[in-house]
Structure 1
Amino acid sequence: MKNSKKMAEDILQGIGGKANITSLVHCMTRLRFTLKDESLIQKQQIENTEGVLGTMAQNGQFQIIIGQTVPDVYAELCSLAGIEKMEALNENLDADNQGKKKFRPGAIFEVVSGCFAPVVTAFAGAGILKGILTLLTTYSLLDTSTGLYLMLNAASDATFYFLPFLLAYTSAKRFKTNEIMALILAGIYMYPTIINNAGTQVSAFGISFYLVKYSSSVIPIMLSVWVMSYVHRWISKVSPSFLRVVLVPVVVLLVMTPLSLMLFGPLGYNIGIYIGNFFKWLFDIAPMVGGFVDGFTRPLMVFTGTHMTMSPIMINNIETLGYDMLGPVHCVATVSAAGMCFGAFLKAKKESNKAANFSSFISAAIGITEPALYGVAFRFKRPLAALCIGGGVSGAFVAAMGAKALSFAMPALISLPVYTGTIPIVLAGSAIGFVLTAVLTYVLGFDEDIKKDERAIEAEKKNLF
């Protein structure tokens, strides 16, 4: 599209050109750059670009908030920058950056976000489809023995069951290593003999270890690809050029296969178990506290871009516990954002503000909260307090009532089927969040004459649904 191409050209110029890009990924609403020299960023120019909602530096990434058209802008940027040239230019720079950030705690969030961002849309579609199937079969509206169920169940399960393959590819892109070898590692984890013998003890090199079912797992493949990136880089460097095509894959397989199945796989699997059990413990002994804290901080996490790091935790909960307790909290927090916008719409006197607030309400109602955050919460300030309180209270309610998600999906009411079994609780929590936040926003009020920054102005333009 013409507008997307113009935006991509302006953004590319603003971040210092294609030679300054170390890596580039995108999530549902943001472009996420890792740059060689952040001093080259022309922040004000980028934020003045039509269609850009805002920018921020977070955990080593320079993030440009675009909104729902981000895939189009991302595609144009890749075309302008040149995919092959980016990969060739950034391989050594990425290695340098990894070394510099090795012990930086924020790098963990950066890596998880970079690996998960490209597959979020697949999660959203598969999660909603899974929820619909669960709803239909629970109430005997669809027979599980039919061919239709067989096909749709395969479509909804594939993304989650074969998640190691998806993360192998995105992790390889993130760590700048060979994608094919990363996919082979995922294939080792998912090999039928490994899956079918999960739980049995075997030995190699005199060391006993347990085989684990790695379908839907997250941490094992990410750990393996990360380590493989160093192994692959080192063996490629020291191998004679005439032997590299054979020697590199052989050495990588010989080194990474035992490391993956004997160390990283079980380690990552057990880390996932412990994380899931921690959240289960927290929500069992103090569900209102866990729900309140999660719901209260949700808008702040979305604003800073760190909300993506919750995705692997939620997916791991579903795989290890059979359900996730965080999804319902995020859902009602999203509905609370819609309530904030609706309250701001009712309170506003100026027609321009009423129109912008209502547009933000529509966007938040379908699960996209960033326009609401930039156009309402962080512009007027007081509505942000209302949103945090509304999200916290509604989150505490659904957590205390035991709401659960049976699949991973977009946190919005359009994903309601994934909460089958606790849908009334989620609906009640959504009503609490919406009404409470709307009332608090109306009562607290806001100064309509607060000068708009560039992010708020662009948010209003992109808010229109």
Structure 2
Amino acid sequence: MDHSRVAADVLKGVGGEENVKSVVHCMTRLRFAIRDDAKIDKAAVKAIPGVITTAEAGGQYQVVIGNEVPEVYAELGKISGLVAGTQTTTVDPDEPKKNLFNRFISMIAALFTPLLWALAGTGLLKAFLSAAATFGWIATDTSTYLVLNALSDAFINFLPMALAITAARYFKASEWTSFAIAGALVYPTITPLVGAEGLTFFGIPFTMVSYVSSVIPIILIVWLQSYAEKFLYAKLHSSVRRFLTPMIVVLIAVPLVFVVVGPISALLSGWLGEGIGWIFANVPWLGGAIMGGLWQVFVIFGLHWGFVPLFTLEFQATGQILLIGPVFAAVLAQSAAVAGVWVRTRDKKLKSLAAPATLSGFLAGITEPAIYGINLPLKRPFIFGIIGGALGGAIIAIGGVFSTAFVVPSGLALPALFGNGNMVFLGLGLVAAIVVSFLLTVILGFKDPVDEDAPAAVANNDLEVRSPLDGTAVGLSEVSDPVFAGGVLGKGAAVLPSSGAVYAPFDGVVAAAFPTGHAIGLRHADGAEVLIHIGVDTVKLNGQHFSMKVESGQAVTAGQLLIEFDVDAIKAAGYDVTTPVIITNAELYPEITSQVTGPISHGEPLYLAKSVEAVALAK
């Protein structure tokens, strides 16, 4: 489907943007609130390639698209001003119920997703450039190297500025004000102040830490910015608030980071560094395990800067750096974990991202694409990387391995460790870090996200769809919505629920968990896609009386609770709760047989979806 063409043609068919009051979308259709029905060219809209059919109900003109309605809706937003602010919610209503760690990971994933390919591409370029310099293919004192180094290093160096934009969109703050704040954090005259003494701001002493490549400070300050802007817009007069708001926000936010975040970060970093330095002096294997296991965690929160003075002092006093050896294990372990994702995942997008992330991690020690784009959002690979890094770091520390130079830990920087300490323990530590992280990721696995662009798998077997609800099974023709009743969106059956719970009808993956909780799409391993739509037009309830218990991309097992809803409240609001359960990719499952009617409990067979092969053989 050409989503942009469909969006343009539909908008033209409904009379143009000026004839539309608002537009939202549910699981399968665009729902227009129209100013003048007479301006709609209904025949033209129905004839648009990609439009399944149209319907008129509840004062809305509904254009049925099917599974690709979110993409068409997004394109509609690009060519009109209708989309912004009209969708009821973009937040998972179950989000507040997640624990703090899961909410943090979800936020990081959302903020980094738009940046991943740039991170992966420049990280890979950095890896190749490092390899070229290591093997003498390019001299580091040439202008060519300087240009290539800037190309490969700039994005990660100014990462806070990129995060300012994604964080502003996430927290609904002004993007360019956030950009201005981030720019101040990495401004050329500010970065040389890192570590300087006697710094004050209007007499208030502060410690400058490096915000280059940092993550948490800019996210935290943009979050606070979003609240400050709402307050100022409410209090300032309309004639001045558009320029006074960003001025006041920047004037407060940037010094707040320097005076509060910087010193706190420096204090915590210093305590952490000194504590681990003491452990290294007394229990080296434990220090190695902490450095190897938690180094990437320190990096995420900006606490790793506390170790730089220790590295420097140790090198100045002894000409060697013991603490940096286990960090090699940390970097290679996370790289090995993402390599495990590369090998195991069946998701095309994830595999194509994991490939350059693996290479840039192993070769150049650039782990940001791996951590923020893959390991941390998937959770388990990040944990496996911590386990492998801790084991490898402990072994390396026991061997007394040290570096003779201040280097960025990576595969190409390993020569800095050669001949320094017990090389057998170095080899064992690195092998342990890589092998353990890789094998844990490949063997124990992770929840593979759904690749929405992947073509549906060819179904080889008939699929028994079990009832997702308790109630009464009825034919699809008894659904009051003609789009469902006519089988336009797919074949199947319906259930009139007697209780408010939806359960998984088979083992599969959540292909779409709609934010309003009224519908869910599941994908079976054989390729079957099933839509469970609770009631008719219940999207208008905007999530009221519904509670989604799973999220998109999550693997589910037969009988697992998916949604809870209040049957009586929905009926009292005037909605039909008859729930269609349909196969939406009829090209793979063209026939429905053995359909059950009458009383039914969840988990009992509802109908049998015949695969295209079975139908062909029958003929």
1:229 maps onto 2:226 in alignment: yes
**What is the match of residue 333 of structure 2?**
329
**Deviation larger for 275-284 or 216-225:** 275-284
Deviation at 1:147, TM superposition (A): 1.9
**What is the match of residue 166 of structure 1?**
162
Deviation at 1:390, TM superposition (A): 9.3
Percent identity, aligned pairs only, is 26
- The 3-state SS of whatever aligns with 2:199 is strand
Change (3 A) 1:273 1:362: same
**What is the match of residue 138 of structure 2?**
142
**What is the match of residue 256 of structure 2?**
259
The answer to whether the 8 Å contact 1:338/1:365 transfers is yes
- The 3-state SS of whatever aligns with 2:124 is helix
Change (3 A) 1:159 1:259: same
Gaps (5+ residues) in structure 1? Answer: 20-47, 51-72, 295-308, 342-355, 370-386, 409-414, 442-448, 460-465
Deviation at 1:144, TM superposition (A): 0.5
- Supply the distance in 2 between the matched residues of 1:217 and 1:153 (Cα, whole angstroms): 19
**What is the match of residue 216 of structure 1?**
213
Query: Can you list the C-alpha shifts for 1:35-79, whole angstroms capped at 9, x where unaligned?
Result: xxxxxxxxxxxxx969xxxxxxxxxxxxxxxxxxxxxx9876632
Correspondences of 1:29-428 after superposition (within 5 Å): 78-81=74-77, 85=82, 87-89=84-86, 106-198=102-194, 199-268=196-265, 285-286=285-286, 313=300, 317=304, 325-336=329-340, 366=355, 398-400=392-394, 402=396
Change (3 A) 1:244 1:89: farther
- The 3-state SS of whatever aligns with 1:210 is coil
Change (3 A) 1:174 1:275: farther
- Supply the distance in 2 between the matched residues of 1:112 and 1:193 (Cα, whole angstroms): 29
**What is the match of residue 525 of structure 2?**
456
- Supply the distance in 1 between the matched residues of 2:341 and 2:238 (Cα, whole angstroms): 57
- Supply the distance in 2 between the matched residues of 1:223 and 1:367 (Cα, whole angstroms): 29
Deviation at 1:80, TM superposition (A): 3.8
Change (3 A) 1:394 1:109: closer
The answer to whether the 8 Å contact 2:133/2:139 transfers is yes
- The 3-state SS of whatever aligns with 2:141 is coil
The answer to whether the 8 Å contact 1:87/1:176 transfers is no
- Supply the distance in 2 between the matched residues of 1:452 and 1:102 (Cα, whole angstroms): 23
Larger Rg: 2
Residue 300 of structure 2 aligns with an amino acid whose one-letter code is I
Change (3 A) 1:433 1:171: closer
Query: Can you list the C-alpha shifts for 1:269-303, whole angstroms capped at 9, x where unaligned?
Result: 65677788899979964489679989xxxxxxxxx
The answer to whether the 8 Å contact 1:201/1:211 transfers is no
**What is the match of residue 14 of structure 1?**
27
Change (3 A) 1:277 1:220: farther
- Supply the distance in 2 between the matched residues of 1:95 and 1:221 (Cα, whole angstroms): 22
- Supply the distance in 2 between the matched residues of 1:138 and 1:156 (Cα, whole angstroms): 16
Larger helix proportion of the pair: 1
Residue 456 of structure 1 aligns with an amino acid whose one-letter code is A
- Supply the distance in 2 between the matched residues of 1:458 and 1:255 (Cα, whole angstroms): 54
Change (3 A) 1:275 1:246: same
The answer to whether the 8 Å contact 2:134/2:412 transfers is no
The answer to whether the 8 Å contact 1:329/1:399 transfers is no
Residue 336 of structure 2 aligns with an amino acid whose one-letter code is V
Deviation at 1:13, TM superposition (A): 3.4
- Supply the distance in 2 between the matched residues of 1:319 and 1:160 (Cα, whole angstroms): 20
- The 3-state SS of whatever aligns with 1:221 is helix
- The 3-state SS of whatever aligns with 2:156 is helix
**Deviation larger for 395-404 or 263-272:** 395-404
Deviation at 1:320, TM superposition (A): 6.1
The answer to whether the 8 Å contact 2:160/2:212 transfers is yes
Query: Can you list the C-alpha shifts for 1:72-119, whole angstroms capped at 9, x where unaligned?
Result: x987663245596554357x9789999978995543333222222222
Residue 208 of structure 1 aligns with an amino acid whose one-letter code is P
- Supply the distance in 2 between the matched residues of 1:326 and 1:4 (Cα, whole angstroms): 45
- Supply the distance in 2 between the matched residues of 1:79 and 1:196 (Cα, whole angstroms): 45
**What is the match of residue 29 of structure 1?**
none
Change (3 A) 1:279 1:84: farther
The answer to whether the 8 Å contact 2:120/2:353 transfers is no
- Supply the distance in 1 between the matched residues of 2:394 and 2:216 (Cα, whole angstroms): 29
Gaps (5+ residues) in structure 2? Answer: 11-23, 33-65, 309-323, 359-380, 418-425, 446-460, 464-505, 509-522, 529-619
- The 3-state SS of whatever aligns with 1:88 is coil
Residue 153 of structure 2 aligns with an amino acid whose one-letter code is D
The answer to whether the 8 Å contact 1:339/1:434 transfers is no
Residue 149 of structure 2 aligns with an amino acid whose one-letter code is N
- Supply the distance in 2 between the matched residues of 1:127 and 1:174 (Cα, whole angstroms): 25
Deviation at 1:251, TM superposition (A): 2.0
Deviation at 1:126, TM superposition (A): 2.1
- Supply the distance in 1 between the matched residues of 2:444 and 2:92 (Cα, whole angstroms): 49
The answer to whether the 8 Å contact 2:25/2:70 transfers is no
- Supply the distance in 1 between the matched residues of 2:192 and 2:29 (Cα, whole angstroms): 51
Residue 111 of structure 2 aligns with an amino acid whose one-letter code is C
Deviation at 1:228, TM superposition (A): 1.0
- Supply the distance in 2 between the matched residues of 1:76 and 1:319 (Cα, whole angstroms): 49
Residue 328 of structure 1 aligns with an amino acid whose one-letter code is L
- Supply the distance in 1 between the matched residues of 2:101 and 2:133 (Cα, whole angstroms): 44
Deviation at 1:194, TM superposition (A): 1.7
Change (3 A) 1:427 1:169: same
Residue 178 of structure 2 aligns with an amino acid whose one-letter code is A
Deviation at 1:227, TM superposition (A): 0.9
- The 3-state SS of whatever aligns with 2:205 is strand
Larger strand proportion of the pair: 2
- The 3-state SS of whatever aligns with 1:193 is coil
The answer to whether the 8 Å contact 1:130/1:407 transfers is no
Q: Bigger relative contact order, structure 1 or 2, given CA contacts below 8 A and separation 6+?
A: 1
The answer to whether the 8 Å contact 1:291/1:397 transfers is no
Change (3 A) 1:364 1:258: closer
Residue 214 of structure 1 aligns with an amino acid whose one-letter code is Y
The answer to whether the 8 Å contact 1:130/1:157 transfers is yes
